[in-house]
């Protein structure tokens, strides 16, 4: 028996992709104003931002990668592995290169603007190919595209297997293992935790850069692979939606434990345990929060968001260019807004709205109408109209 999934458009995944990108816009804008280090900062910061950002940090990108895994299974379609690899190269590698040489450099320029007399003077340093932060060559937020390209290529054997008759027994076994909400919440999270127990001592957070982030690479690949496996199994996909209430309860439990530990670390409450134990426990619970929040959102999305809208295809087409552009717009606009004598709240919403308008404007005026720009930003060409 071949894959049970019917080749139909999943509107819930389109809506969830839109929601996830919207979260990224407001999350990255908030990086200007919270206490965490970032490329540029407002002179005044606020602790209030980190209390909601810390939770989003652990499931916003895993959600996008889970959706991307399901989307990659759909994208494979009836293509051969060679055709699929070529399509992924065109949709991912080309925009990555364009982004690294055109979109990302302004971020580094504004971070080190005092070092250079003008942008041309700075831009020459990009071609020294010295990795950031020592140099000016980086993919910054486009790591997601680089990872997605590698994940797609690595996953080709798994994609072929999931679409073959030989995968029926495997998919049945996976469903039997994960059909109940508790096992669906815990088993994948334990698998992800195991990879991190093995890899993080070798590749700790301090080495999270272009070369040494293998622990994070495997962490995100797990969400991508589980997205493919879940979408390839109609029964498992339905089980996620059917168990959404129980998954929500389990997620809330882990979120409460997570915040209890986190509030101790930031000095709001005091727990009677050693700091190292609390830090390690927070890292472990964060993995369960990541997985449980993702699968809960997917479950509720199935139930409430699998409905079409006449604007959804057009908006969904523009999300990829918007993602590529948004962080550069935030930093460029934020650099000037943060110098104004306004309150944090006003600055936050001004930067958010101006970023939204500027990215949408660039897409509508300079990317969407022209096939060459659509190609460079990974969008399918417009069909000629008679």
Reading the block at residue 81, the tokens are 């592995």
pTM over 0.85: yes
Q: What pLDDT score does 67 carry?
A: 96
Segment 272-279 shows an average pLDDT of: 93
Tens digits of residue pLDDT in 342-360: 999 999 999 999 999 999 9
Q: How far apart are CA 168 and CA 176, in angstroms?
A: 12
53, 129, 266, 276, 285 from 270: Cα distances, Å: 21, 47, 10, 14, 18
Helices 11-30 + 48-57 axis angle, to 10: 140
8 Å CB contact between 231 and 167 = no
Q: How far apart are CA 337 and CA 348, in angstroms?
A: 9
248-261 burial, b at 16+ Cβ within 10 Å, e below that, comes to bebbeebbebbbbb
Query: What is the sign, positive or negative, of the torsion defined by CA atoms of 239, 61, 207, 278?
Result: negative
Segment 319-331 shows an average pLDDT of: 98
Q: How far apart are CA 50 and CA 190, in angstroms?
A: 27
Tens digits of residue pLDDT in 103-156: 999 999 999 999 999 999 999 999 999 999 899 999 999 999 999 999 999 999
As to burial, measured by CB atoms within 10 angstroms (0-12 exposed, 13-18 middle, 19+ buried), residue 277 is exposed
Tens digits of residue pLDDT in 50-80: 999 999 999 999 999 999 999 999 888 878 8
As to burial, measured by CB atoms within 10 angstroms (0-12 exposed, 13-18 middle, 19+ buried), residue 85 is middle
Q: How far apart are CA 375 and CA 379, in angstroms?
A: 6
pLDDT at 22 over 50: yes
Q: What pLDDT score does 205 carry?
A: 66
Q: CB 102: neighbour CB atoms within 10 A?
A: 14
Of the candidates 233, 109, 265, 222, the one whose C-alpha atom is nearest the C-alpha of residue 168 is 233
What are the extents of the domains in the chain?
A: 11-104+139-246+290-376
**Considering the chain, what percentage of its residues have pLDDT values greater than 90?**
87
Cis bond upstream, residue 133 (ω within 30): yes
Q: What pLDDT score does 287 carry?
A: 97
């Amino acid at each position: 028996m071949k894959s049970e999934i019917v080749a139909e458009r999943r509107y819930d995944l389109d809506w969830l992709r839109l929601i996830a990108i919207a979260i990224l816009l407001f999350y990255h804008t908030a990086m200007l104003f919270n206490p965490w280090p970032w490329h540029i900062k407002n002179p005044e910061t606020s602790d209030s931002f980190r209390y909601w950002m810390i939770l989003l940090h652990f499931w916003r990108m895993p959600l996008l990668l889970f959706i991307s895994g399901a989307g990659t299974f759909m994208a494979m379609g009836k293509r051969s592995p060679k055709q699929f690899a070529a399509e992924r190269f065109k949709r991912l590698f080309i925009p990555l290169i364009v982004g690294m040489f055109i979109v990302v450099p302004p971020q580094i320029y504004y971070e080190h603007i005092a070092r250079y007399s003008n942008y041309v003077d700075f831009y020459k340093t990009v071609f020294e190919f010295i990795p950031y932060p020592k140099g000016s060559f980086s993919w910054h937020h486009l790591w997601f595209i680089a990872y997605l390209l590698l994940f797609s290529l690595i996953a080709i054997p798994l994609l072929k297997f999931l679409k073959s008759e030989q995968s029926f027994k495997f998919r049945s076994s996976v469903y039997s293992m994960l059909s109940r909400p508790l096992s669906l919440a815990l088993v994948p999270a334990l698998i992800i935790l195991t990879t991190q127990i093995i890899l993080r001592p070798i590749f700790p957070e301090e080495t999270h850069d272009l070369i040494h982030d293998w622990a994070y690479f495997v962490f995100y690949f797990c969400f991508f692979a589980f997205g493919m496996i879940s979408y390839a199994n109609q029964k498992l996909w339905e089980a996620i939606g059917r168990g959404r209430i129980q998954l929500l309860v389990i997620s809330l439990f882990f979120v409460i434990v997570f915040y209890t530990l986190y509030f101790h670390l930031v000095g709001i409450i005091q727990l009677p345990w050693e700091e190292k134990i609390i830090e390690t426990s927070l890292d472990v619970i964060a993995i369960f929060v990541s997985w449980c929040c993702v699968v809960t959102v997917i479950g509720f999305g199935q139930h409430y968001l699998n409905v079409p809208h006449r604007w959804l295809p057009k908006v969904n087409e523009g999300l990829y260019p918007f993602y590529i552009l948004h962080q550069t717009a935030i930093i460029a606009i934020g650099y000037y807004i943060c110098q104004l004598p306004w309150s944090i709240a006003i600055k936050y919403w001004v930067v958010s709205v101006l970023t939204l308008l500027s990215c949408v404007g660039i897409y509508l005026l300079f990317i969407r109408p022209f096939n060459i720009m659509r190609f460079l930003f990974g969008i399918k060409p417009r069909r000629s109209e008679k």
